[in-house]
Structure 1
Amino acid sequence: MDKNQTSPKLLQAEFPPAQKEQVLANPPSRKRQLDSNEDTVPQAKQARTTHPTSEPARLTRQNLARFNKMGKKKCSDPSDHSRSTKTKTTSTTSTGFADKARKNGILDPHGSRLAKNLEDIRQQQAKSRATASPTESVYNDYVDRVDRAGNESTIIVATSKRLLKEYPTNYPDAYNRAFTNLPKNAGFNNGLSAPQPDFIEGLEKEEYRPFPVDDYIPRATLYQDDPRSITLPQIAGEWKGPAGDIREARIQSAYDGAAMVHARNKALAYMGKEEPPGHASVITFTTDGTNFNLYAHYAAPSEEDEGALEYHQCLVSTTNLTGSYKSFKEGRKHLRNAQDHARAHSYALKDQLKEHYKQQRGGGLHPVATGVPPLHVPGIEPLDAYEDEGDYEVVEH
């Protein structure tokens, strides 16, 4: 008999008659011993390893139960690399996300009403920039990297630094970070986890000082216990990998847009203002490296549920970034103009909030204008002043 095979006599001695047949039918497997790793070595094997001269552990019910438990632990080893390494709380693959979002009034482009200023937004994002377009070699490199990308993270790294414009300090960006400071069940997010866009940028909370923005507008700051938290952002983006569904990114961006619109409206309400009806200020985008879509967002009273709000998502433009050198330049220009658009609105809103706060404290400043300020705000450096020129030459319009 093999030395590792269990003796029927030993089984009979250690187990009651009622359990004898079950143990004989399922003897401990040598394969399970070979499959176990060093962290889950059975007690009997450890005894033979650390004390070669000692006797093997007896095959008791306790040892057999421990042995089986360790085998199950091996099957659920969290180090299994076949699992996804990225967890996104706003994934539409979670149970009922899209249905819950719709019940909360978050609409997709098919169910949304067009923003009244949609054509103005399209013209702003299609305008010429003060710097030269990227060279054709930049486009070829972009296409090659997108074609070679094997997952979503690689797509984000490969495309973001070739498409997005970078701004100076105090206007930071963040990637795949959940809105931890967002109150639950605020209407648009009832029953949903916090938004977690792949990209977002905006002013730091410090830029609002001395106005305590997080005290007066609880939904303004995105991240809890972060003095440098991005505050009242106006733009966000969602990516998908090579095997991803761009429609899922669209639903996620609708949720991101609703969160930003909700916070913006709270900030306006604090000053006794409101957005003009049907007017969109918040922007989002979605891309898988090839397809690129820009959306504008606004809120309006529901026509079906009196007293409720609906959050509309309007398609501004769509571009095939890898289709041609020309379309790549167009998509990149639209995105950077959208960033400038969002940045201008962020500074305008911040300046109004600070001025209103000083008035409330008896600062004696001029009254705050009753309307939403125009895109260009005095005191802000030109929108293209921070354009990353790199190897490009500055050219005239």
Structure 2
Amino acid sequence: MDEPHTHAEEKQAPQSTQTRKRQLDSDDDKPQPKRARLTRKNLAAFNKMGKKKTSDDDSGSTKTKTTSTTSSGFAEQVYKNGVRQPPYAKPPPNLEDIRERLARSRATASPPELEYKRYINKVEGAPNEATMVVEVSRRLPKEYDDEGYSQVFNQAFTNFPENVGFNNGLSAPQPDFVEGLRMPEYGPFPIGEHVGGAVLYKDDPNSLTLPHLAGEWKGPGKNIKEARMQAAYDGAALIYARNQALNVMGKPYLAGYAKVITFTTDGTNLNLFAHHAAPTEEGTLEYHQHPIKSINLIDSHEGYKEGRKHLRNAQDLAKEESYALRDELNDYWRAKRTQPVPLPTIEDDYEVVEHQPVHQATPPTLSKHRSGKTHSHPSHHSHHSHSTPHSSKAPSSTHSSTHSSGGKRKASSSQSSHGSSGHISKHRSYWKKDAMSGRYYHKHSDGTVSWLDDDKDDGRD
């Protein structure tokens, strides 16, 4: 379905534009449509990375990207969807922190001058984009040994939801480079079922999931501004998925801090960008792409080392964010599965007396009888108090006994007047019943849980 769309666009363009597009897209493409189709089938995954795609083909490995800024109104639609680039992009509040992090010295040795000269020779001699991408990708980025953390080149986000705001009316993002964790790394949390946009590739159990770094390449003579626009779109997709993950956990996701990084390069220059989302005064959401740093890679040995260092530090930072988000999601999921399930409010009318000291010569202990009534028995302890409240249900207001400093007591006029000095507060739903164990519990504001001792439960069902 890509080709009819692409040729229709070419018919609308002037002849000079068609010729220039063919010259930029491939070294040996001819005007004949048949020849072009054969070339796309036989080229490697990198060979068509200079154009944006509109196809819904799930393979994504050799398809042509056709949502370009010149032929399909891609730039205009991206802007309408709220994706902002300089000079209209706002800086994130942590921009300087990111710049400092990317400029840090690395523990490994810097590349020698011989490697720099070899890089110049390879990149400046690259006849097309595919060659340039291979030469740059084997020298500038870092490779990780983590089995669950990997890189993917030129693959469309075939599992990404459509028309969620930033991508309205556009095909799925297809970065030239993306790096992140694979889906199995997020177990036990079923991330594909709960976080929209997190799992990038359809029907792929090893799909990259919630990455924080993407990149766009351009070949010799191609428009680097177009790569920047494509990177802005890629970054918006990564932000959207991250925000959805935070939203599942009930965390605020519009604080404005940048956690996603993209880059563009043509082999000569490296440009790094920070991405964040921010609400507008109208209540809509904008996705901002703000420059971090631009570095010339070939002017000097120092420039080459600087660019390599910044890109690898960006990779390390994105990896840390990916693992941190994964751990948060897993912790959230485990806590959710282990916490007691709240039941509807218990309708018994109680007042809670908190931290009220009780001094009795012979404080009673409680026992249950088949009648369900509570009776008191003498105890040999002269002082007895608890820091956590327990429920004591008396059969009547005239036959109630105080069990502890934090005990529950049936509401009565005499108790209400006495309890005002003991911080009595109305709390109809203080104790809740755990569906699994049948026991009653109370979850405090600090996250701790108190369980009502069965031996102290005087007849509650």
Given the superposition, is the C-alpha separation of residues 166 and 198 from structure 1 closer, same or farther in structure 2, using an over 3 Å criterion? same
Map of 1:197 onto structure 2 = 175
Larger radius of gyration: 2
- What SS does the aligned partner of 1:231 have? strand
CA RMSD of aligned residues (A): 2.2
CA contact (8 A) 2:66 2:72 kept: no
Map of 1:239 onto structure 2 = 217
Task: Indicate yes or no: 2:57 matched with 1:101.
Answer: no
CA contact (8 A) 2:212 2:260 kept: yes
Alpha-carbon distance in structure 1 between the residues aligned to 2:255 and 2:177: 28
CA contact (8 A) 1:238 1:286 kept: yes
Match of 2:192 among 206, 214, 224: 214
Structure number having the greater strand percentage = 2
- What SS does the aligned partner of 2:209 have? strand
Map of 1:115 onto structure 2 = 92
AA at the equivalent of 2:289: Q
- Give the superposition deviation at 1:83: 7.2
Q: TM-score, normalised by structure 2?
A: 0.61
Alpha-carbon distance in structure 1 between the residues aligned to 2:182 and 2:143: 15
CA contact (8 A) 1:89 1:195 kept: no
Alpha-carbon distance in structure 2 between the residues aligned to 1:268 and 1:326: 40
Match of 2:230 among 252, 257, 260: 252
Map of 1:65 onto structure 2 = none
- Give the superposition deviation at 1:234: 0.1
Count of matched residue positions in the alignment of Structure 1 and Structure 2: 292
Map of 1:268 onto structure 2 = 246
Which ranges in structure 2 are unaligned for 5 or more consecutive residues? 1-29, 41-46, 49-63, 341-443, 448-461
- What SS does the aligned partner of 1:215 have? helix
Map of 1:79 onto structure 2 = 35
Alpha-carbon distance in structure 1 between the residues aligned to 2:155 and 2:259: 22
Alpha-carbon distance in structure 2 between the residues aligned to 1:118 and 1:139: 29
Q: 1:305-338: per-residue Cα shift (whole Å, max 9, x none)?
A: x221000011000000001000000000000000
Which ranges in structure 1 are unaligned for 5 or more consecutive residues? 1-73, 371-397
Map of 2:378 onto structure 1 = none
- Give the superposition deviation at 1:210: 1.2
CA contact (8 A) 1:118 1:316 kept: yes
Map of 1:162 onto structure 2 = 139
- What SS does the aligned partner of 1:317 have? strand
- Give the superposition deviation at 1:81: 8.5
Map of 2:206 onto structure 1 = 228
Alpha-carbon distance in structure 2 between the residues aligned to 1:183 and 1:81: 29
AA at the equivalent of 1:138: E
Map of 1:6 onto structure 2 = none
Alpha-carbon distance in structure 2 between the residues aligned to 1:237 and 1:246: 12
Alpha-carbon distance in structure 2 between the residues aligned to 1:149 and 1:81: 24
Superposed, 1:59-70 pairs within 5 Å as: none
Task: Indicate yes or no: 2:139 matched with 1:183.
Answer: no
Map of 2:338 onto structure 1 = 362
Superposed, 1:1-397 pairs within 5 Å as: 76-80=32-36, 86=48, 87-168=64-145, 169-275=147-253, 277-303=255-281, 306-362=282-338
Given the superposition, is the C-alpha separation of residues 135 and 353 from structure 1 closer, same or farther in structure 2, using an over 3 Å criterion? same
Larger RCO, structures 1/2 (Cα 8 Å, 6+ apart):
1
AA at the equivalent of 2:315: Q
AA at the equivalent of 1:92: T
CA contact (8 A) 2:186 2:330 kept: yes
AA at the equivalent of 1:122: R
CA contact (8 A) 1:202 1:230 kept: yes
Alpha-carbon distance in structure 1 between the residues aligned to 2:163 and 2:256: 24
Percent identity of equivalent pairs: 55
Alpha-carbon distance in structure 1 between the residues aligned to 2:159 and 2:31: 37
- Give the superposition deviation at 1:88: 1.5
Structure number having the greater helix percentage = 1
- Give the superposition deviation at 1:91: 3.1
- Give the superposition deviation at 1:80: 4.5
Alpha-carbon distance in structure 2 between the residues aligned to 1:356 and 1:326: 45
Q: 1:279-322: per-residue Cα shift (whole Å, max 9, x none)?
A: 1010000000001100000000123xx22100001100000000
- What SS does the aligned partner of 2:98 have? helix
